Amino acid sequence: MKASRWVIVAALVGVGGVAAGGAATRWALDRHGAVAAGSRPVDLDTRSYKYLSLEKVVVMLHNTAGEPEPHYLALDLVFKTNADGEAVTREQLPLLRSVAVKALSNLTLKNATGLTIEELARQLNDAYTKTYANDRAGPPFSEAMIGKLVVE
């Protein structure tokens, strides 16, 4: 009887050790982002990105009827690119400024203040996608982000 008790205790300790080891491994992987919510491993993006600034993009906003004062929107853009696209993106900053001004030039003060940063960034990224639609290489950056925004 004593021998069977020790066998049961040893088996329980072994099962508990395996469960604790599995839980500790899962915790460590979750903490470091290697396991997603559905218990599927996440591909970690290990490329190094460069962030290029395009500062002081100023757009005059359309006045609504009866508004005597002009209003403007000023923003700083940041372009996320990999090391290979950095030089091309830098060379194309004047084009990127022009596309941003064109994309935002139809806004009124009411429209501009009603948009969230995410919505405004989406409008800009859509405009860049359209600009590069016929270019085989595509845009030299992966995302345009808003670094600073002033609506006056």
Whether 103 and 143 share a structural domain: yes
End residue of a domain, out of 28, 44, 60: 44
pLDDT of residue 66: 67
Whether 82 and 144 share a structural domain: yes
Whether 103 and 139 share a structural domain: yes
Q: Which of 14, 38, 120 is nearest to 77 (CA)?
A: 120
Distance between CA atoms of residues 85 and 87, nearest Å: 6
pLDDT of residue 125: 96
Whether 40 and 53 share a structural domain: no
Whether 21 and 60 share a structural domain: no
User: How large is the angle between the packed helices 117-131 and 93-104, nearest 10 degrees?
Assistant: 120
Q: For residue range 34-85, what is the model confidence (pLDDT) as tens digits?
A: 545 555 555 556 568 899 999 999 999 887 766 778 899 999 999 999 988 9
Whether 135 and 69 share a structural domain: yes
Assess whether pLDDT exceeds 80 at residue 17.
no
Number of domains in the chain: 2
Whether 60 and 122 share a structural domain: yes
* CATH code where residue 58 lies: 3.30.479.30
Distance between CA atoms of residues 148 and 152, nearest Å: 13
Where residue 30 falls (left for φ over 0; alpha for ψ -120 to 50; beta otherwise) is: alpha
Whether 91 and 22 share a structural domain: no
Instruction: Tell me the average pLDDT of the chain.
Output: 81
Whether 15 and 84 share a structural domain: no
Structural domain boundaries enclosing 69: 49-151
pLDDT of residue 70: 86
